[in-house]
């Protein structure tokens, strides 16, 4: 194509893009967004991902009516017996869990300290084909991108609060072959994540203060979920904290489709039933 024709073509394509400020327009390596697949992706995958020929110039599809979201239940393994973690995790998967939610705490961003990439890598060596999400409750999430990618993590969810350049960290996560999740503490306004939606695969709304167990579900976080679902109908929205059979309806009705549940699932006498029932509630609200 001649240079002049190419320039005219690109200009006409970009006129169709409603968000000229879109981060995807500024970063050509970023792939077009889509609801997360739970198919295991290799952490050595190339950062160059093809964009569908039917997308606009920046790949902004989160408001497209052609896409659909799915209900996913991810038990938090922090509530499992850590001395027998591989077996406990496999049991959850065998009982219907869609993915495993791994809570990583550094003792700084939150007061508690859990585990890091060596344990995640050991778990991956035992469980080859499960989808791993790490919830990085850490001061410097950029520091752990490469080690977690090497450990076999699929979705790297980090808090935006301590990060100066969210777009930069997100790009590095994608370049490492992982999907990007952006997490918000209860005190963070949902509008703070708006400018990064185009670079994210998932947004996590905390329904308790991160780093502490045994807290009550914060129903007043649901307006955040409702705002995200209204403005981004195809975005994968996750909730974490105090979610179980008694609170799942509130989360699902507000628009959450990825559900993190700890004790309510891990400690259940019938894990399969609890997971199935919760997924059914979420699915009933997905249009």
- Concerning whether 249 is annotated as a catalytic residue, the answer is no
Task: State the residue for tokens 């219907």.
Answer: 96
Dihedrals φ, ψ of 205, to 5°? -100, 115
**Helices then strands, each counted (H, E), the chain:** 10, 8
Dihedral angle, C-alpha 227, 231, 235, 238, nearest 10 °: 0
Chain centre to alpha carbon of residue 105: 17
What b-and-e string marks burial along 156-177, b requiring 16 or more CB atoms within 10 Å of the CB? Answer: bbbbbeebeebbebbbbbbbbb
- Beta-carbon contacts of 66 under 8 Å, excluding residues fewer than 6 positions away, are none
Set 98, 198, 201, 240: catalytic member: 240
* CB contact at 8 A, 283 and 251: no
Phi-psi label, residue 126: left if phi above 0, alpha if psi -120 to 50, beta otherwise: alpha
Rounded CA-CA distance 98/258 in Å is 9
Set 103, 106, 198, 236: catalytic member: 103
- Concerning whether 236 is annotated as a catalytic residue, the answer is no
Task: Please give the positions annotated as active site.
Answer: 103, 240
């Amino acid at each position: 194509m001649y240079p002049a024709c190419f320039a005219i073509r690109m200009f006409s394509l970009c006129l169709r893009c409603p968000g000229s400020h879109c981060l995807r327009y500024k970063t050509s390596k970023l792939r077009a967004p889509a609801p997360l697949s739970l198919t295991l992706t290799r952490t050595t995958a190339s950062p160059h991902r093809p964009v569908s020929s039917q997308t606009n110039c920046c790949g902004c599809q989160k408001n497209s009516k052609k896409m659909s979201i799915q209900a996913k239940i991810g038990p938090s393994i922090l509530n499992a017996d850590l001395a027998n973690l591989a077996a406990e995790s496999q049991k959850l998967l065998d009982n219907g869990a869609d993915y495993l939610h791994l809570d990583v705490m550094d003792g700084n961003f939150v007061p508690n300290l859990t585990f890091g990439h060596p344990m995640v890598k050991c778990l991956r060596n035992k469980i080859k084909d499960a989808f791993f999400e790490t919830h990085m409750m850490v001061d410097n999430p950029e520091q752990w991108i490469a080690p977690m990618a090497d450990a076999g993590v699929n979705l790297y969810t980090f808090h935006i609060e301590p990060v100066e350049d969210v777009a930069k960290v997100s790009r590095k996560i994608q370049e490492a072959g992982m999907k990007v999740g952006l997490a918000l503490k209860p005190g963070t306004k949902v509008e703070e994540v708006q400018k990064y939606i185009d670079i994210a695969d998932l947004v996590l709304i905390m329904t308790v203060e991160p780093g502490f167990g045994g807290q009550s579900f914060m129903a007043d976080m649901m307006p955040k979920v409702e705002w995200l679902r209204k403005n981004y109908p195809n975005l994968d929205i996750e909730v974490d904290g105090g979610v179980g059979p008694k609170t799942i309806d509130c989360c699902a009705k507000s628009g959450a489709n990825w559900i993190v549940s700890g004790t309510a699932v891990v400690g259940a006498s019938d894990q399969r039933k609890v997971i199935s029932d919760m997924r059914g509630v979420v699915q009933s609200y997905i249009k």
